Each structure stands twice: as C-alpha cells, then as structure tokens.
Amino acid sequence: MFWEKPKYRDSYLGEFAFSSGGWSVQVETEHGSVLASVSGDKHLLDPAALLQLKEILLNLNDHHSSALDAIHADEFAMSWLDGTNGVLEFSNICSSSVPGKFSLLFGLTEWRDATINVDFVQGRINEVWCND
C-alpha cells in the first residue's frame, strides 16, 4: 500500500515500524512498556543501532539506575519533580548508530508533553536535559 509504513521484523524484539526518520518498537521491560527507537533510513534500520539497542536492553537495569541517579543529581530536572507534575515514568530508549551513544527518556504522569532526557556517550552519562 502507498500509505503503509515500512516495517522490519526482528526475531528478538518484534516488528519495528518506520516513522519520522526512525524505526520504533514497543518493548516490555522490568520498568514497564517503553518505546525503543533506532536510527536508519526509510529502507532499513541501522544494524549497528539495532545491535546497540539489544545491548542496552541486556544492561537496562544498570542504565536505568544510572539515569535516575543523574536526574536526582540535576537541580533543574529535580524542579520538575516537585510533586505537582505527577510521577516520573520511563518512556523511551533511543539508540544511535554511534557506539555508546544512546538516550533514556522519562515522562511525567501529570505533564504529558514533558520529557527528561538522559544522554549517554561512550556508555556514560553525558547530559541530563528537560524538554517541554
């Protein structure tokens, strides 16, 4: 079909769909259901980004814990967690084709368009930033 989104089936993660310049799949984790995205063009997702996503998922507890520690150490991010915006919830994993470069994103239950992003570079936390 002309309007059908391109799809890619991975035997481990399931069916990815292409949209807005990337490939995404819903993944069940210990921390809830999250949208996992990898880079790529409309013809194929990037194999290095897919491999990295699988590695992130294997070590997700460590990355998730580090991300939460970084959020709680960031004064501006903590100002968003003042109790009026609801509860922090893990929402997305974004894997790039650059080794060690990925992001974990968190939302707030009472502020639906807010995200707190934790960017990793070379597998270590590089930056915490907030987006509304």
Can you give 53-115 as a three-state secondary structure string?
HHHHHHCHHHHHHHHHHHHHHCHHHHHHCCCCCCCEEEEEEEECCCCCCEEEEEEECCEEEEE
**For the whole model, what pTM was predicted?**
0.92
Can you give the residue ranges of every domain in the chain? 7-131
**Tens digit of each residue's pLDDT, the chain (132 residues):** 556 778 999 999 999 999 888 999 999 999 999 999 999 998 889 999 999 999 999 999 999 999 999 999 999 999 999 888 999 999 999 999 999 999 999 999 999 899 999 999 998 999 999 999
